[in-house]
């Protein structure tokens, strides 16, 4: 460990003041449980941004989730103006794109638990895909109508023998690949440089995205949102897809041009899309995406439902805190 990054702290003489802005539910109780048990830590849990900013003057560290850019800017300004002791920020989310254009003091060390929830997000991505491929929304509607009708069978499909393009081979992308292979799917990965990755059958550079799209029946988006990847799936990219492609997005809503997505769904270029993310969130009830019959939407909850993942997040947070201040157990 770089000792320059270790704060001066004397266990048993002073308490670390840690603020937890708990705006989301994922991992919240597990984190609170573990940090509250530390004798050298005083944990302040804040439900709102205003409460968090109010608690900053005494804070040594801040635990938080990603947040919208406007909130991130307000928080960063408050850190500059009101948090002279703050030296550590720990994110409970893999992405922190809300802070992409935000400048924080150089003294603030950033850590995260990236990848802790990759397995459950990959499960959710596969669930969205299978829901589309097996036409489960039609079956559920017929069940609600108490109607036994096999007429939609001709529009069902299967994963076996298909080619899947996974755009973004971070930990979530790799977990998706691991779950897809047993279905008999050929996996292609897209990374920045196209370097070979054992989790997929073949890897392509981002510059060859359109070539990969033209070879694939399924497109899984798990790439980080950056200036380069904003609207990565634009009209040209969607036009490069095979007719009848399935698209799943568990990355960020802005990775996809939603107007172009709507057109691709209505034209049949895409056989279906499953999205756990949108722009904006919540997706307004007037958005034309809601009118697409071949769309499955979940409200950005792919990380939810896994106690194992939540324990990993909490344990990773505890480890990061201990390493930062060389607490017992580090």
Catalytic residues: 252, 281, 300
> Per the structure block, which two tokens stand in for 223?
């790439």
CA distance 71 to 308: 30
The answer to whether 150 and 202 are in contact (CB under 8 A) is no
- 89 forms beta bridges with 62, 110
Contacts of 65 (CB under 8 A, 6+ apart): 21, 22, 23, 24, 26, 91, 92, 93
The answer to whether 83 and 101 are in contact (CB under 8 A) is no
Q: 126 — phi, psi (to 5°)?
A: -65, -35
Q: Largest Cα–Cα distance in the chain? A: 73
Tally of CB atoms within 10 A around 1: 9
């Amino acid at each position: 460990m770089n000792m320059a990054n270790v704060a001066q702290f004397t266990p048993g003489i002073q308490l670390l003041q840690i603020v937890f802005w708990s705006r989301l539910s994922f991992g919240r109780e597990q984190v609170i449980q573990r940090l509250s048990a530390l004798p050298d830590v005083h944990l302040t849990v804040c439900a709102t941004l205003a409460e968090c900013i109010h608690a900053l003057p005494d804070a040594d560290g801040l635990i938080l989730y990603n947040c919208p850019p406007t909130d991130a800017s307000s928080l960063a300004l408050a850190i500059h103006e009101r948090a002279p002791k703050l030296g550590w920020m720990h994110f409970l989310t893999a992405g922190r794109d809300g802070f992409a254009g935000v400048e924080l003091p150089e003294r603030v060390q950033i850590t995260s638990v990236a990848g802790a929830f990759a397995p459950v997000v990959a499960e959710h991505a596969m669930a969205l895909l299978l829901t589309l491929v097996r036409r489960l929304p039609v079956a559920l509607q017929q069940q609600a109508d108490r109607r036994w009708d096999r007429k939609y069978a001709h529009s069902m499909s299967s994963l076996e023998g298909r080619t899947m393009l996974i755009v973004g081979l971070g930990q979530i992308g790799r977990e998706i690949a691991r779950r897809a292979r047993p279905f008999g799917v050929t996996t292609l990965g897209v990374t920045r440089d196209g370097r070979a990755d054992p989790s997929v059958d073949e890897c392509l550079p981002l510059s060859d995205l359109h070539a990969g799209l033209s070879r694939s029946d399924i497109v899984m988006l798990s790439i980080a949102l950056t200036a380069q990847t904003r609207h990565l799936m634009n009209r040209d990219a969607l036009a490069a897809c095979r007719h009848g492609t399935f698209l799943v997005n568990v990355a960020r809503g802005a990775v996809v041009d939603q107007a172009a997505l709507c057109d691709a769904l209505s034209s049949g270029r895409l056989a279906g899309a499953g999205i756990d993310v949108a722009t904006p969130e919540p997706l307004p009830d007037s958005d034309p995406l809601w009118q697409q019959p071949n769309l499955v939407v979940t409200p950005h909850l792919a990380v939810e439902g896994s106690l194992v993942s939540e324990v990993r997040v909490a344990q990773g947070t505890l480890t990061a805190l201990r390493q930062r201040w060389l607490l017992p157990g580090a």
